[in-house]
Amino acid sequence: MVLSHRLGEWAGHAPVLEEEVALANIALDLLGQARVLLSLVGDEDELAYLREERAFRNLQLVEQPNGDFAHTIARQLYFSVYQHLLYERLAAGDGEFAPLAAKAVKEVAYHRDHAEQWVLRLGDGTEESHRRMQAGLDALWRFTGEMFQPVDGLDGPPSGVDREELRNRWLAAVTDVVERATLALPTGPQSGGWAAGAGRQGLHTEPFGRMIAEMQHLHRSHPGASW
């Protein structure tokens, strides 16, 4: 839901019309997935609009501001490769998320392809696009560790998912794209100063509060109204 919101901010600002369509499309897919998941837990709007910052459990990666197009694409690459590998495994398993993952995996495969294609184009495009793509990858690298860290309060990983294996496959896939794009895999730490799984514990980065303030203000201004 959070990443969908960030992608929604691109509407009317994309570098080319085809990307207006593509980014909105990915945002819609992600919002659709979020609505299914939220509805499993409770009322989707109550969960989206009435929780405060500390009660959100999203990864810090997805709440990061859009930055330039390369920054957005770097965020898409890191997240969509992770999401694709995770959903493939969930879909193959027999856990309660298997049917949902099976449906979403087709969408996520497209998101991943879209991100990979753009990393290649930007990395192996002009000098400027190469520089910007590398900067995007570097800036977001420190938020990638969280995807593979255990979540406080949950017993072990969801069925069919081995975190260590997921991390290795993710790293291999990202390395492959980054190298084909003539870019370098960032070398810094994958967790930037937070304890393991910070976002999962409701510990977020500063831009997130402002994002949900905008997202929630209308809903909160009319308590109990339906839309």
Partner 1 sequence: MAAVTADQKSQKTFGTAGTTDADRVAAFDATVAADERIEPRDWMPDAYRATLIRQMAQHAHSEIIGMQPEANWITRAPSLRRKAILMAKVQDEAGHGMYLYSAAETLGASRDELLDKLHAGRQRYSSIFNYPTLTWADVGAIGWLVDGAAITNQVPLCRCSYGPYARAMVRICKEESFHQRQGYELLLALSRGTEAQHAMAQDAVNRWWWPSLMMFGPPDDASSHSEQSMAWKIKRHSNDELRRRFVDICVPQAEALGLELPDPDIRWNEELGRHDFGAIDWSEFQEVLKGNGPCNEQRIAQRRTAHEEGAWVREAAAVYAAKHAPKPSPSSSTTATATASASASASASASAAASDQPAARTGASAPHEEETA
Catalog residues that contact partner 1 under the rule CB under 8 A. 1, 5, 8-9, 11-22, 24-29, 31-32, 34-35, 38, 44-45, 48-49, 68-69, 106-107, 110-111, 113-114, 117-118, 120-122, 124-126, 128-129, 132, 214-215, 217-219, 222, 224-227
* Smallest gap from residue 64 Cβ to partner 1 (A): 15
d(CA 145, CA 188): 11
Q: Which is nearer to partner 1, 35 or 163 (CB)?
A: 35
State the CB neighbour count (10 A cutoff) for residue 102. 14
How many residues can be counted in the chain?
227
Amino acid identity of 59? L
Alpha-carbon span 78 to 177, nearest angstrom = 11
Min dist CB 23 to partner 1, Å, is 9
Closer Cβ to partner 1, 152 or 179, answer by number: 179
Shortest reach from residue 136's CB to partner 1, in Å: 12
> How many Cβ atoms from other residues are within 10 Å of residue 199's Cβ?
24
> What are 33's two structure tokens?
């997935």
Nearest approach, Cβ of 161 to partner 1 (angstroms)? 24
Q: How far is CA 154 from CA 118, 149, 201, in A?
A: 35, 11, 11
CB of 126 or CB of 168, closer to partner 1: 126
| Least Å from the CB of residue 203 to partner 1 | 23
